[in-house]
């Protein structure tokens, strides 16, 4: 007959020594967590859906959506000039002002190309937020307001 040791933590009323308890994962300063993160991800889904509605209004072929979806990521080439310039370029292409301005200009000037560019930018932004990719900090490519990614992840 074999005996199996019962961990002390499984016995009611026993305490696990502090050194054995896993430390709570604390996000780095500036990273959104909890319910606000859920709201920002829901917002990303809503922005992506609205972008697809905007794109549908252009009458352009749907193959353009997957063909152009990663175009905003070309802004990451700014990192070749360093993390500060890279973050600025990346954030310009990955926040709402630029794609909204392109969509508005496309509507104003009746330019399908500008409207498509704005719609694709908004779609990309929405999907990024849904996937927890956020606005970049100046010190590292992987540090965003929605979490750490790549080599920056603990």
Specify the higher pLDDT residue, 109 or 133. Answer: 109
> Does residue 106 sit in helix, strand or coil?
helix
Q: Does the pLDDT at position 39 exceed 90?
A: yes
Residue 124 dihedral angles phi and psi, to the nearest 5°: -60, -45
Q: Does the pLDDT at position 10 exceed 50?
A: no
- pLDDT tens sequence across 101-124: 999 999 999 999 999 999 999 999
Residue 6 pLDDT grade (very low, low, confident, very high; cuts 50, 70, 90): very low
CA 106 to chain centre: 26
Q: What is the mean pLDDT of residues 31-39?
A: 90
The pLDDT value recorded for residue 152 is: 65
Specify the higher pLDDT residue, 45 or 16. Answer: 45
Residue 25 pLDDT grade (very low, low, confident, very high; cuts 50, 70, 90): low
């Amino acid at each position: 007959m074999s005996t199996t040791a019962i961990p002390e933590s499984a016995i009611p009323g026993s305490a696990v020594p502090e050194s054995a308890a896993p430390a709570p994962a604390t996000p780095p300063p500036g990273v959104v967590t909890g319910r606000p993160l859920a709201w920002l991800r829901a917002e990303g889904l809503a922005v992506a859906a609205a972008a697809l509605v905007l794109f549908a209004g252009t009458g352009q072929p749907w193959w353009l959506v997957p063909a152009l979806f990663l175009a905003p990521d070309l802004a990451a080439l700014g990192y070749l000039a360093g993390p500060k310039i890279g973050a600025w370029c990346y954030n310009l292409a990955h926040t709402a002002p630029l794609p909204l301005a392109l969509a508005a200009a496309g509507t104003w000037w009746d330019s399908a190309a500008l409207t498509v560019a704005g719609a694709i930018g908004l779609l990309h932004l929405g999907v990024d937020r849904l996937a927890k990719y956020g606005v970049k900090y100046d010190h590292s490519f992987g540090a965003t307001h929605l979490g750490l990614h790549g080599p920056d992840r603990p």
